[in-house]
């Protein structure tokens, strides 16, 4: 499993979870860690794993830098493919779009899986399903078996991309966004499947809640594939990650304030519906919201770990978790 943003360090990605277009199959990057070297808040350098200092290991992975700083990581790896054949299929119906994504989570030969929402020239929302196959032979152009039975309206010609180019697919746009220096109040939440459609429909119908969204991705996740305790997922067999990128004109401009308020409202709605946030892309949360996000059992465990491994609260205090 490779994360979406390759500009990040391995330690930084492991501190937040690490999700990508194959997470529906392989879980998050933190689910593939074998061993870590960690500097705790007390200044100790500790090697930890599931067999050695197991609680520190569990509370550092997706732990937002609260219990330790990762200085070395050992991960399980797979041989990389040569290329990716990506296919884009468009839908004009949200329910069908979500249902086909759910179906594809069970496709054995499928590689990347993601979806994107965009507005048409008529100002209506369109849904594009992006799915791909990892290949070594780029001359084979037959449609893959996982396309059978999908209910898309149109499809684009397949695109063959070298694997390294696929991994770097977001690098240029991220660099361009940083160069603009304008606020990008983004939000990522993962919703239970039962709540996703209503959540998305309410958002799309509201000019305030959807303010400034220029990039909106929806991708399925299987919570059972995410095993680390601090990388929280909704309860249930199926969930959908909603990734909303916004652009404001300037810091504290009227549109910026509307976007920040929208994110706060959406976080409250998501938590109330059993959703979870992805902390790197979330507004400032109250301690009560952090407790709600982690749940009572994990929260108690996280507090105990913080007290043990960082008693003076010197590690990453800006998050305001404790």
pLDDT digit string, tens, across residues 56-65: 999 999 999 9
- Contact by Cβ (8 Å): 249, 284: no
- Strands 276-277, 187-192: pairing is antiparallel
pLDDT of residue 253: 96
Determine the Cα–Cα distance for residues 159 and 178; give it in Å rounded to an integer.
Answer: 28
Confidence of residue 140 (pLDDT cuts 50, 70, 90): low
Architecture per CATH, 83-169: 3-Layer(aba) Sandwich (3.40)
pLDDT of residue 244: 96
Determine the Cα–Cα distance for residues 235 and 16; give it in Å rounded to an integer.
Answer: 20
Task: Reduce the DSSP state of residue 117 to 3 states and report it.
Answer: strand
Q: Give the domain ranges of the chain.
A: 10-78+296-315, 83-169
Residues 6+ apart with CB under 8 A from 151: 91, 96, 99, 100
Q: Give tens-digit pLDDT for 69-119.
A: 999 999 999 999 999 999 999 998 999 999 999 999 999 999 999 999 987
- Contact by Cβ (8 Å): 158, 86: yes
CATH code for the domain defined by 10-78+296-315 = 3.30.465.10
Determine the Cα–Cα distance for residues 189 and 278; give it in Å rounded to an integer.
Answer: 6
Residues 6+ apart with CB under 8 A from 3: 13, 18, 19, 20, 29
25-36 mean pLDDT: 97
Tell me what percent of the residues of the chain surpass a pLDDT of 70: 99
Residues 6+ apart with CB under 8 A from 219: 21, 23, 24, 101, 113, 114, 115, 240, 241, 243
Residue 137, pLDDT above cutoff 80: no
pLDDT of residue 177: 80
Nearest to 189 by CA among 102, 276, 114: 276
pLDDT of residue 139: 67
Q: Give tens-digit pLDDT for 150-202.
A: 999 999 999 999 999 999 998 888 888 888 889 999 999 999 999 999 999 99
144-148 mean pLDDT: 95
Please state, in angstroms and as integers, the Cα–Cα distance from residue 16 to each residue in 88, 158, 189, 245, 305, following that order: 29, 33, 14, 18, 17
**What are the tokens at 70?**
């990762």
DSSP for 44-111 reads -EEEEESSSSHHHHHHHTTSTTSSEEEEEEEE---PPPSEEEEEEEEES-HHHHHHHHHHHTT-TT--
201-206 mean pLDDT: 95
pLDDT of residue 178: 81
Residues 6+ apart with CB under 8 A from 193: 98, 102, 236, 237, 238, 239, 240
Do domains 10-78+296-315 and 83-169 share one topology? The answer is no
Identify the residue with better confidence: 123 or 271. 271
214-235 mean pLDDT: 97
Q: Is 190 exposed, middle or buried (0-12, 13-18, 19+ CB in 10 A)?
A: buried
């Amino acid at each position: 499993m490779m994360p979406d943003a390759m500009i990040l360090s391995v330690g930084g990605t492991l501190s937040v979870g690490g999700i990508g277009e194959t997470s529906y199959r392989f879980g998050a990057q933190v689910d593939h860690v074998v061993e870590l070297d960690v500097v705790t808040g007390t200044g100790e350098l500790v090697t930890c794993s599931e067999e050695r200092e197991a609680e520190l290991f569990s509370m550092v992975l997706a732990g937002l830098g609260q219990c330790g700083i990762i200085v070395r990581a050992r991960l399980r790896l797979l041989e990389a493919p040569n290329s990716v054949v990506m296919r884009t299929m468009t839908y004009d119906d949200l329910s069908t779009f979500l249902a086909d994504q759910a179906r594809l989570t069970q496709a054995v030969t499928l590689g990347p899986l993601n979806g994107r929402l965009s507005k048409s020239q008529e100002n209506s929302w369109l849904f594009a399903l992006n799915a791909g196959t990892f290949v070594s032979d780029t001359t084979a152009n037959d449609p893959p078996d996982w396309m059978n039975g999908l209910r898309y309206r149109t499809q684009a010609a397949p695109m063959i991309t070298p694997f390294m180019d696929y991994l770097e697919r977001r690098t240029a746009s991220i660099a361009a966004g940083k160069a603009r220096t304008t606020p990008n109040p983004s939000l990522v939440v993962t919703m239970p499947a039962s709540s996703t459609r209503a959540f998305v429909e309410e958002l799309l119908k509201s000019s305030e809640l959807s303010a400034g969204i220029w990039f909106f991705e929806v991708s399925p996740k299987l919570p059972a594939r995410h095993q680390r305790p601090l990388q929280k997922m909704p309860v249930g067999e199926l969930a959908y990650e909603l990734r909303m990128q916004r652009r404001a004109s300037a810091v504290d401009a009227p549109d910026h304030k509307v976007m920040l308020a929208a994110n706060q409202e959406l976080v409250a709605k998501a938590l109330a519906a059993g959703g979870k946030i992805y902390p790197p892309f979330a507004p400032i949360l109250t301690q009560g919201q952090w407790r709600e996000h982690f749940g009572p059992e994990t929260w108690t465990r996280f507090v105990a770990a913080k007290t043990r491994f960082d008693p003076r609260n010197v590690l990453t205090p800006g998050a305001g978790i404790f």
